[in-house]
Amino acid sequence: MVDRYATFANSAAGKALVTRLGLPAPTPLRRYSPGDPLVTGPVLVDAAPGGRLGPAVRAILDEAGVPLRDPVAAAVEAGASATPGRLAALIFDATGVTSSERLRTLYDFFHAHARTLLPSGRVIVLGTAPEDCAAPREAVAQRALEGLVRTIGKEFGRGSTAQLVYAAPDAPLESTLRFLLSGRSAYVSGQVVRVGPAVGPAAASSVDWEHPLTGKVALVTGAARGIGAAIARVLARDGARVIALDVPAAGEPLAALANEIRGEALQLDVTAADAPARLAAYLRDRHGRVDVVVHNAGITRDRTLGRMSAAEWDSVLDVNLSSQERINDAILDLLPPGGRLIQVSSMNGIAGNRGQANYATSKAGVIGLVQVLAPALAARGVTVNAVAPGFIETPMTARMPVALREVSRRLNSLSQGGLPVDVAETIAWFASPGSSGVTGNVVRVCGQSLIGA
């Protein structure tokens, strides 16, 4: 599935027409292909005085072979020249900001370098989670970073993204920095991510970043089509043995997909009374465990509340939420330390949406699931996170009325819809053995949509 408008608007003829009509010409986003370098140019790392993360960040980038720009030279260049050397990413360690007055260091940095980013550039601000700050003034300043980063996401343009990463002192950061710098996070922007100390076994220092999931067993529900198929493909690409699950009616595309990714096809209706027991038995008998569980199966039955039938309410709640709770009860014991439980929520579960009372309720419940299970499973070494997709180009969105679809595509900082692979890459980041400190997060994959709550 491609964004046809973006493709058209960036063709030679399209560009001319789009410019003439004053329509937005979204920047083609840099997306990941195996073998790609993390970034497309040099990265500038700077810090507020007293920051604690600079050395760790530089070590990670060094080891990843990322070219670093010297902050002093870059500042001179930015001040002296109208066309300073372009940068692939700006990383600022704001952990030294202990008061609102000291936020000024971030202004100095981003004011100087606002215009230096290459297309699909990356902005990453590192901070301390307000709830982890001892001093009130520090907590306030750290919380203020959210407003800055979300504004940068809306200002910098040309396919660039901006994120705020709140990192605990001993947080394993490498998988998160790699994800956010790379083309894998193409459609993730304006997000606040918390990385804590490692839950379960710490990542081996020798993660194979091209195939981090080698040897892992991953279950993906709703895998036959759309976003689910993209998830299955990306997890398989990253080395996992994928069990692709879908309803019997989707048996044909499911088998084709399983074949393509050398995985297993499992036909099962997740809402069936015996589904949890059957699934648990399958996982136990075939693999003795499951390392990664991705609850992706979801349906919509859109109707305003006054017109919605009880069956439309029940089926959406059951597929999108209740069945996942029942399945978790049956299979969580099969997740070993280092296990990953991943949910698919939705922007509409955050903001609500006209005609989707059933869907928004179920997807808000999924956020509750993450909030409840992340602390509960941490002691067992299992992380729990969710993605919340925004407007993603799928057969479903392709059937939307054209005007609504065009507006929906444009209402975000990247002025385009996302692709199923963007959701899948975010899930693969959660799934990575390197992401042992990433738990309890709900990360929107929405191009920083305007829509929220």
- Smallest gap, in angstroms, from Cβ of residue 398 to a second copy? 23
Which candidate in 5, 32, 282, 359 is catalytic?
Answer: 359
- Smallest gap, in angstroms, from Cβ of residue 299 to a second copy? 15
- Smallest gap, in angstroms, from Cβ of residue 117 to a second copy? 11
Query: Of 414, 420, 372, nearest to 396 (Cα)?
Result: 420
Give dist(CA 88, CA 94) in Å, integer. 19
Contacts of 256 by beta carbon, 8 Å cutoff, 6+ apart: none
Give dist(CA 203, CA 206) in Å, integer. 8
Record the tokens describing residue 35, joined without a space: 């073998």
Query: Catalytic: 359?
Result: yes
| Residues 408/400, Cβ–Cβ less than 8 Å | yes
- Smallest gap, in angstroms, from Cβ of residue 444 to a second copy? 8
**Smaller CB separation from a second copy, 296 or 413:** 413
- Taking each helix axis from N to C terminus, what angle separates 226-237 and 420-431, rounded to the nearest 10 degrees? 50
Record the tokens describing residue 188, joined without a space: 């993730």
> Following DSSP, what letter does each residue of 331-354 receive, concatenated?
HGGGPPTT-EEEEE--HHHHH--T
- Smallest gap, in angstroms, from Cβ of residue 288 to a second copy? 26
- Smallest gap, in angstroms, from Cβ of residue 136 to a second copy? 5
**Smaller CB separation from a second copy, 95 or 182:** 95
- Smallest gap, in angstroms, from Cβ of residue 230 to a second copy? 24
User: Over the range 319-332, which residues count as b (16 or more CB within 10 Å of their CB) and which as e?
Assistant: bbbebbebbbebbb
R_g of the chain computed on alpha carbons? 22
Give dist(CA 34, CA 307) in Å, integer. 48
**Smaller CB separation from a second copy, 10 or 100:** 100
Residue 12, strand partner residues: none
| Residues 397/391, Cβ–Cβ less than 8 Å | yes
**Smaller CB separation from a second copy, 72 or 453:** 453
Give dist(CA 137, CA 410) in Å, integer. 38
Residue 347, strand partner residues: none
**Smaller CB separation from a second copy, 75 or 256:** 75
**Smaller CB separation from a second copy, 185 or 189:** 189
Quick one: 146 exposed, middle or buried, by C-beta within 10 A (0-12, 13-18, 19+)?
A: middle
Sign of the C-alpha dihedral, residues 383, 388, 389, 395?
positive
- Smallest gap, in angstroms, from Cβ of residue 313 to a second copy? 4
Contacts of 25 by beta carbon, 8 Å cutoff, 6+ apart: 9, 10, 14, 15, 18, 19
Query: Of 419, 416, 45, nearest to 234 (Cα)?
Result: 419
Sign of the C-alpha dihedral, residues 242, 337, 202, 422?
positive
Q: Would you please indicate which residues are annotated as catalytic (active-site) residues?
A: 359
